[in-house]
Amino acid sequence: MSIIFICVTALHLIFADIRFRYDAYLVGLGIIMVLNFIKDYIPTKFSINEIKKSIRKITEKFSVDFSFQNVSMILVFFIIIYTSIFRTSYSFGKIIQGTTNIYEQQFQMALFLQKYYKGECIGVK
């Protein structure tokens, strides 16, 4: 599954645009991959000893076994972090313009309805 994720991500980064909802499926797939990988290391009880045991299991696994799956999961983690940072910074740059556009569109729609449908019941989406 990690090979599929890496291939799909690479193809998406090469051929598609990284914007808002168009790559959300990659984030979802990556989160599923990471959760599937760490499910054995999540403590069943949230006590200090259980958490320490889980951390010890994770560090032992990574210090001894650098298999293809572990390396690919690290790569998947960094891809998710990189795309999340890019998406967040891009989105924050567009928030002000987007909210202004929505306000202006709703304001113009209200003026239109006031002029042409004054006093009538109107359903608007």
The pLDDT, as a whole number, for residue 41 is 67
Output the 3-class SS for the chain: CHHHHHHHHHHHHHHCCCCHHHHHHHHHHHHHHHHHHHHHHCCCCCCHHHHHHHHHHHHHHHHHCCCHHHHHHHHHHHHHHHHHHHHHHHHHHHHHHHHHHHHHHHHHHHHHHHHHCCCCCCCCC
Whether residue 64 is predicted with pLDDT greater than 60 in this model: the reply is: no
Residue 103 has pLDDT above 70, yes or no: yes
102 domain-assigned = yes
Q: Kindly report, residue by residue over 4-24, the tens digit of the pLDDT.
A: 888 888 888 778 776 666 777
pLDDT at 65: 59
Number of domains in the chain: 1
Cα 63 to chain centroid distance, Å, stands at 29
Residue 122 domain-assigned (yes or no): no
Position 121 in a domain: no
Question: Does the pLDDT at position 104 exceed 90?
Answer: yes
pLDDT for res 70: 72
Structural domain harbouring 75: 2-115
Are 76 and 34 within 8 A, CB to CB? yes
> Greater confidence, 97 or 49?
97
**Confidence band, pLDDT 50/70/90 cuts, at residue 123:** confident
